[in-house]
């Protein structure tokens, strides 16, 4: 996989998990421009709280642990998180304000800062351009690594965008028990960058649902090493398209890896009065347990669509248009024409299966 210039990676087992990689690091060789999108859960993890404070500063490193959500576990949790990034900052010669941190795993269990701090020297020593360990270290119930990259050629020079993600359950915008890391060596004005990122996230990570449950830890970081400065509208538009493709592909990988799922489902809502109405209708379907169970059973009980649309406040007439691909396939496309307007939106979800219940009944 092509890695943008200016980034190094590392991963170790620090003892949070039994033998598996559980601590990852993205190191910026020079200070990078960062942006982030975070969970809207009112009870965020300590890691989310710290990263929200630091995201607008020049970024030197991103530290990620899996196996523990670092959330609502003890009164000193926020202070411990600050101690962890302070120790990393000292070891790489920067300020704790230039460090981002993400955590994923079980909520309510104390994260051992001692184990993480003890693992930092090995983590730093192992830095290289090989990102395989990092992509593995961020996983929890995932069954495969989620990463990809794309090369771009602009009038200012060549560069690339790469992305890593994790997530398989507790998935619902805004956003999900998911982490995403999108790195690039392209740079553009912060205002334009922020606008492109918001659009990309809205059409991807915020348009998926597996179980309708919003996590406390959702984070997507966008980090630029600023090697190639994009100036022309043509180049910026190309970057925007490719960034959206990366984000959508990562989001779809999460849905394809949904806990216990047997179906990947793409829902396109057409004929809406606005994009927001189309998205709202689609997400109510994606979060309907009745609808998702029907698809697991390959049962075209479309009365459940009408019910979900009504729950969303979308009133339709009897001539609503519903089309679908064969339900026996593991990839299903469903088109719903509301016949209310001209706007549309796509959302992505999975079926709801007995295996999902089993996985989450035993998760501890």
**pLDDT computed for residue 176 by the predictor:** 42
Residue 46: partners with Cβ closer than 8 Å, 6 or more residues away:
70, 71, 77, 78, 80, 81, 103
Residue with tokens 């790469």: 162
Residue of higher predicted confidence among 1 and 275: 275
pTM: 0.93
Domain annotation for the chain: domains and CATH numbers: 7-256 (3.60.70.12), 264-361 (3.10.20.340)
Burial status of residue 354 (CB atoms within 10 A of its CB: 0-12, 13-18, 19 or more): exposed
Q: What percent of the chain has pLDDT over 70?
A: 96
Q: Which residues participate in catalysis according to the annotation? A: 177
Task: Please say whether the beta carbons of 267 and 347 come within 8 A.
Answer: yes
**pLDDT computed for residue 190 by the predictor:** 85
Q: Is residue 202's pLDDT more than 70?
A: yes
CA–CA distance, 144 with 58 (Å, rounded to integer): 32
DSSP characters over 42-93 = SS--HHHHHHHHHTTSPEEEEEEEEEE---SS-TTHHHHHHHHHHHHHHHHT
Q: pLDDT, tens digit, for every residue of 33-84? A: 999 999 888 999 999 999 999 999 999 999 999 999 999 999 999 999 999 9
**pLDDT computed for residue 327 by the predictor:** 97
Structure tokens at 174: 């805004």
**pLDDT computed for residue 295 by the predictor:** 96
Cα-Cα-Cα-Cα dihedral sign, residues 35, 38, 42, 45: negative
Q: Is residue 175's pLDDT more than 60?
A: no
**pLDDT computed for residue 92 by the predictor:** 98
Task: Give the three-state DSSP class for 222.
Answer: strand
Q: Is residue 170's pLDDT more than 70?
A: no
Residue 338: partners with Cβ closer than 8 Å, 6 or more residues away:
269, 270, 271, 272, 277, 278, 281, 309, 314, 316, 320
**pLDDT computed for residue 364 by the predictor:** 61
pLDDT band at 141 (very low <50, low <70, confident <90, very high): confident
Tell me what the mean pLDDT of segment 341-358 comes to: 94
Span between the terminal Cα atoms of the chain, in Å: 34
Tell me what the mean pLDDT of segment 298-303 comes to: 93
Q: Is residue 172's pLDDT more than 90?
A: no
Structure tokens at 209: 């649902």
Task: Please say whether the beta carbons of 160 and 151 come within 8 A.
Answer: yes
Task: Please say whether the beta carbons of 95 and 117 come within 8 A.
Answer: no
Closest CA relative to residue 163, chosen from 106, 268, 246: 246
Task: Please say whether the beta carbons of 25 and 10 come within 8 A.
Answer: yes
Task: Please say whether the beta carbons of 59 and 34 come within 8 A.
Answer: yes
Task: Please say whether the beta carbons of 58 and 98 come within 8 A.
Answer: yes
Tell me what the mean pLDDT of segment 171-179 comes to: 57
DSSP characters over 151-194 = EEEETTEEEEEEEEEE-SSSB-SS-BS-EEEEEEEEE--HHHHH
According to DSSP, the β-strands at 157-166 and 23-38 are unpaired
Q: pLDDT, tens digit, for every residue of 82-135? A: 999 999 999 999 999 999 999 998 889 999 999 999 999 999 999 999 999 999
Q: Where does the chain have alpha helices with state H?
A: 46-54, 77-92, 113-125, 132-137, 190-203, 233-256, 275-286, 289-296, 303-311, 354-361
Quick one: how far is CA 196 from the chain centroid?
16
């Amino acid at each position: 996989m092509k890695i943008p210039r200016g980034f190094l990676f590392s991963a170790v087992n620090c003892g949070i998990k039994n033998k598996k990689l559980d601590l990852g690091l993205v190191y910026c060789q020079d200070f990078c421009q960062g942006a982030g999108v975070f969970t809207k859960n009112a009870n965020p993890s300590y890691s989310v709280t710290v990263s929200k404070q630091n995201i607008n500063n020049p970024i030197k490193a991103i530290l990620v642990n899996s196996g523990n959500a670092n959330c609502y576990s003890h009164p000193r949790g926020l202070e411990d998180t600050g101690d962890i990034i302070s120790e990393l900052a000292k070891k790489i010669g920067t300020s704790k304000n230039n460090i981002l941190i993400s955590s994923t795993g079980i909520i309510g269990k104390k994260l051992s800062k001692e184990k993480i701090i003890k693992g930092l020297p090995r983590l730093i020593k192992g830095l290289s351009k090989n990102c395989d360990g990092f992509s593995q270290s961020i996983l929890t119930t995932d069954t495969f690594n989620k990463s990809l990259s794309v090369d771009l050629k602009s009038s200012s020079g060549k560069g690339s965008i790469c992305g890593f993600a994790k997530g398989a359950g507790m998935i619902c915008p805004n956003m999900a028990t998911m982490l995403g890391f999108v790195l690039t060596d392209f740079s553009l004005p912060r205002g334009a960058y922020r606008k492109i990122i918001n659009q990309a996230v809205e059409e991807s990570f915020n348009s998926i649902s597996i179980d309708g449950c919003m996590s406390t830890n959702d984070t997507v970081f966008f980090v630029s090493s600023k090697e190639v400065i994009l100036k022309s509208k043509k180049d910026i538009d190309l970057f925007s398209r490719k960034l959206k493709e990366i984000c959508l592909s990562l989001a779809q990988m999460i849905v394809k890896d949904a806990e216990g799922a047997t179906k990947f489902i793409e829902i396109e809502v057409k004929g809406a009065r606005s994009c927001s109405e189309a998205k709202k209708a689609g997400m109510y379907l994606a979060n309907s347990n009745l609808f998702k169970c029907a698809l697991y059973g390959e049962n075209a009980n479309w009365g459940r669509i009408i019910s979900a649309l009504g729950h969303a406040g979308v009133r339709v007439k009897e001539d609503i248009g519903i089309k679908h691909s064969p339900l026996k396939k593991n990839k299903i496309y469903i088109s719903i024409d509301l016949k209310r307007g001209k706007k549309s939106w796509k959302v992505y979800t999975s079926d709801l299966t007995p295996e999902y219940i089993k996985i989450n009944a035993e998760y501890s």
